[in-house]
A and B are shown apart, each in its own frame.
Chain A
Amino acid sequence: MANFDEIFGEQWKRSVEKICGASESSSLGFSQAWEIATSALKPRPLNEHPPPRDQALVLAAVQRIHKAKMTPFLIDSFLGDLRKCEHFIESEINESMGRYDASQDPNEVAQLIDRLAQWYKHWVPNPNSQSLYKTFQLAFQTHLFSFLPLSFPDAFKALLVETIGQPVESNVIVFQRFEVLGFLDRYESLLASVVYQQIELRVAETCPKEWTSRKLADLRTWLKEKIVPWLAAPYARGARTVEDARAMVSGIISRFDFHVCRTLCDLRIKEIFDIIVDYPDSMDALIDLKECLTRVDQRPQLVTALRKANHKRLLHPGADTKDILSQYVSTIKCLRIVDPPGVLLYKVADPIRRYLRERPDTIRSIVSSLVGEGGDLIDESEQPGPVQTVAEDFSDPNWEPEPIDAGPEFRTSRPSDVITTLVSIYDSKDLFVKELQVLLAQRLLAITDGNFEKERRNIEILKLRFGEAALQVCEVMLKDMTDSKRIDHHIQAQGQSIMHPTVISRHFWPPLQGSRLRMPGQFREIQENYGRGFSAFKPDKRLRWLPHLGEVHLDVELSDRTVSVEVSPLEAAIIELFSSKPVWSMDEISVKLGQLDHVTVQKGLLTWIEHGVVSDQGDNTFRLLEQASTSDVRPAARPMDIIEDTSPVVTTEQQQADQMRIYWQFIQGMLTNIGPMPIERIQGMLRLAPGYDRTVEQLGGFLEAARREGLVLFMGGMWQLNR
């Protein structure tokens, strides 16, 4: 200012006075006004107060300066003074932050901010001129932020976290301070990140593994009760009415609500596999997930996560087919809740289905659950419908376009029932029907009391799914059961027999295990009598016994006891032999029963040894124990572990292997005549053979088996006979 005076000197003063007019210049000289204004504005330490002065006078002084168009210079001088005082703030900040760094106590920060606000208030230019105030604010904040250390944002964040739990009233004051110091604008992103962090923390605390209640609703309540009031302070500042405030906050709240959904969604996606395992207990979690997914587009992540989890935890050789199936069914049910159109399901199910198709026992597992043998894959309440692939209905008024993330092969599937989906793993239903037939045969043959209503009911249900024609064979099997009962009734009326056979139509039953067993003694008589009775009743038919199947209830009356047992016909035949003479050798028994192999006979004998009726004399002879011997009863030491499939029905795999044996002749001929051939060529030639329907893979498996047996060699991609 000195320069100014020097340059313009008296001339300036005079002209100014002339311009300002007499009335005001009379009350206050310019230099006096300058003096008053600068001393009023001068920043001082907190404990030092500006000299008491009449507000009106200061105002007048400022106005005087303004009149003289000297305001910018006044401001400059004020800023210069401010700069001289900023070291007070700096030292204060450094001190407080030093303490905070040591203690990590947000209260230090709160106190610091409190002090800063006091500084601010103390320095704020007294006469409230708009331009002066703005300038001061800017300058103060600039200085302030330049002093704040790098660690301040974290400290501030800690303080913000601290305030979340506080009552609204105290927060309002705190936030006013923030506002005054310009923290809110500068650290707005920090504010949001605090809330995000809180949300994530909350989700991590309350939600993991909690699938039995609606967590999303809980979280939203929490957001409404804890976070929204807190948000009002920073975000709805300056709102005059409640509506205003609501409008200001609503945008930010929906952002946080989105984050809640997103965080919960991420968590649930991470847990999805276990959620599916827990279904239907985890129903609420699934509904939450569904709601989250409508808000957040995490569908691709869900698919990826679930596919990965399935691959890792489900689709490996260690998992039981039954478990895979039940998990698959749960997956179907769960994803149908989450995503009714089924796009997610389609994407997730594909690898499972492909894997299941490769498992040899998938069909059997499905079928056995179809007929209700352990396993609750079938929901009783489900309306059984026909299994069919529905062509797209172009006249459907409720048609909806496929969801946008549907792949090209995706086809909107009508909400079909679980069984339909399971059956559709395979291209044709025939495989199921065949397996079903085998299973039904096993069950029917095991029935002794003539009560097969359950099987009939099952078949009726399955007819709805597979169609009448496919199950015709099963129908005949059931008819055989009824006929047997009727015929037996008739024959029993002609002459009592203790025999109650099941007479089957062999072309309509799956192949049964063959046996050379011939029943001895009274059994043969019973058989013949019954056979005669049958032929008398049905003159153009006769019976062919399958003597090794079925079961016999019999009493073995010994001199000191009676053993009452239920045994297989083979065992019955063996004990029958002992009734004619007490000691038999293995060979004798074998010959007598129709050249049975020793393993079979041994197995039958073991049963009786276990019952304590027969004892093993060593060197392959067996003696009847007419009197129970206590000394001689050895714990039935099984000489060999005979683990044999006792099922009377030949399994489909065995059937296939048997059929393949026929084609072995062809292959052998080919390889002899043509020489080494690649597998494709063999397959091509075999296709000319009648009824050949194997895939190259099946053929490969067969050739591999033949190679292990040393029948063929595989060299340089060619198969050749091993000679």
Chain B
Amino acid sequence: MKVTVKRWHAIAQWQWDTGTRSDPNTEQEGAGNQTQNDDDEDGDGDVCGICRVAYEGCCPTCKVPGDDCPLIWGECSHVFHMHCLLKWIGTAASKQQCPMDRRTWVTAERKVAAS
């Protein structure tokens, strides 16, 4: 007996790869998959430290999530909505620091270049 799939209309959700979770490539392992599922079960996932909206949502000024409201990754491992962070950096009070750990903000090159 053989099953031939002709067409599969599947449903998926996209997520930002914030680097805090296991790499997608290692998910093939059963255990890895299990933890990922557990991660997902716990609800809304991580939120932007500035606007407190989920990464997969969008910053308060945007209406459309995803590529129109991307994330920005810092070397300090903190991740924000790009618009939120740029706004913060733009204020004098920020002193160009990451709002979470007060280290000077340095954008993680790899991620930004990739996006």
Contacts and interface: CB of A to CB of B under 8 A. Distances in A.
Given A507-B54, A540-B71, A502 B11 contact: yes
A14 interface: no
A526 B8 contact: yes
Nearest to B110: A539
Contact of A500 (B2, B9, B66, B70): B9
B3 interface: yes
B80 to A, nearest CB: 13
B8 A575 contact: no
B91 interface: no
B52 interface: no
For A448, A553, A559, the residue with the greatest tally of chain B CB atoms inside 10 Å of its CB is A553
B115 interface: yes
B14 A543 contact: yes
A543 B8 contact: no
Interface in B7-63: 7-17, 24, 28, 33, 36-37, 40-41, 44, 54, 56-57, 63
Contact of B8 (A498, A541, A544, A559): A498
Given A556-B3, A579-B2, A624-B1, A501 B9 contact: yes
Contacts of A547: 10
B10 A501 contact: yes
Nearest to B56: A507
Nearest to A444: B11
B73 to A, nearest CB: 8
A445 interface: yes
Interface in B62-104: 63-67, 70-71
Contacts of B115: 539-540
A375 interface: no
A578 B111 contact: no
A554 B5 CA distance: 4
A573 to B, nearest CB: 10
Interface in A477-514: 479, 483, 498-508, 512, 514
Contact of A542 (B14, B44, B66): B14
Given A528-B28, A579-B1, A502 B64 contact: no
Contacts of B114: 539-540
Contacts of B14: 503-505, 534, 538, 541-544
B13 A503 contact: yes
B13 A546 contact: yes
Contacts of B57: 507-508
Interface string A150-173: 000000000000000000000000
B15 A543 contact: yes
A501 B15 CA distance: 15
Contacts of B12: 501-504, 543-546
A448 B36 CA distance: 28
A101 interface: no
Contacts of A528: 28
A579 B15 CA distance: 33
B13 A506 contact: yes
Nearest to B67: A538
A473 B66 CA distance: 13
B61 to A, nearest CB: 13
B5 A531 contact: no
A297 interface: no
A508 B62 CA distance: 13
Given A505-B56, A540-B114, A535 B24 contact: yes
Given A540-B70, A556-B3, A557-B4, A550 B9 contact: yes
B1 A569 contact: no
Contact of B5 (A472, A523, A626): A523
B9 to A, nearest CB: 4
A555 to B, nearest CB: 4
A557 B57 CA distance: 44
A539 B65 CA distance: 16
Interface in A581-620: 582
A417 interface: no
A584 to B, nearest CB: 13
A491 to B, nearest CB: 12
A33 to B, nearest CB: 120
Contacts of B16: 540-541
A476 interface: yes
Nearest to A582: B1
A554 B6 contact: yes
A576 interface: yes
Given A502-B11, A505-B14, A526 B5 contact: yes
B7 A556 contact: no
Nearest to A476: B64
Contacts of B17: 535, 539-542
Contacts of A508: 57, 65
A40 interface: no
Contact of A541 (B15, B28, B33, B64): B15
A549 interface: yes
B13 A476 contact: no
For A540, A559, A572, the residue with the greatest tally of chain B CB atoms inside 10 Å of its CB is A540
B13 A554 contact: no
Nearest to B55: A507
Nearest to B44: A507
A215 interface: no
Nearest to A624: B1
Contacts of B5: 498, 522-523, 526, 552-554, 572
For B10, B24, B41, the residue with the greatest tally of chain A CB atoms inside 10 Å of its CB is B10
A539 B115 CA distance: 7
Contact of A499 (B8, B28, B36, B54): B8
B7 A558 contact: no
Contacts of B67: 538
Given A540-B111, A556-B1, A518 B13 contact: no
Interface in A107-160: none
A498 B7 contact: yes
A551 B2 contact: no
A527 B5 CA distance: 12
Nearest to A502: B11
Interface string A616-642: 000000001010000000000000000
For B9, B16, B115, the residue with the greatest tally of chain A CB atoms inside 10 Å of its CB is B9
B13 to A, nearest CB: 4
A236 to B, nearest CB: 80
Contacts of B8: 498-501, 523, 526, 550-553, 569, 572
Given A539-B114, A549-B10, A479 B2 contact: no
Contacts of A514: 41
A122 B114 CA distance: 128
Interface of A: 445, 448, 472, 475-476, 479, 483, 498-508, 512, 514, 516, 518, 522-523, 526-528, 530-532, 534-535, 538-547, 549-559, 569, 572, 575-576, 578-579, 582, 624, 626, 648
17 contacts: A483-B66, A501-B8, A504-B13, A505-B14, A505-B56, A508-B57, A522-B5, A539-B114, A540-B115, A541-B66, A542-B24, A546-B11, A546-B12, A547-B10, A550-B10, A572-B5, A582-B1
Interface of B: 1-17, 24, 28, 33, 36-37, 40-41, 44, 54, 56-57, 63-67, 70-71, 111, 114-115
Task: List the 4 closest A-B pairs by CB distance, nearest first.
Answer: A549-B11, A539-B114, A501-B10, A506-B13
Given A476-B65, A501-B8, A542-B24, 14 more contacts: A498-B7, A499-B7, A499-B8, A502-B9, A505-B14, A508-B65, A523-B8, A540-B111, A541-B17, A546-B13, A553-B6, A554-B4, A559-B1, A648-B11
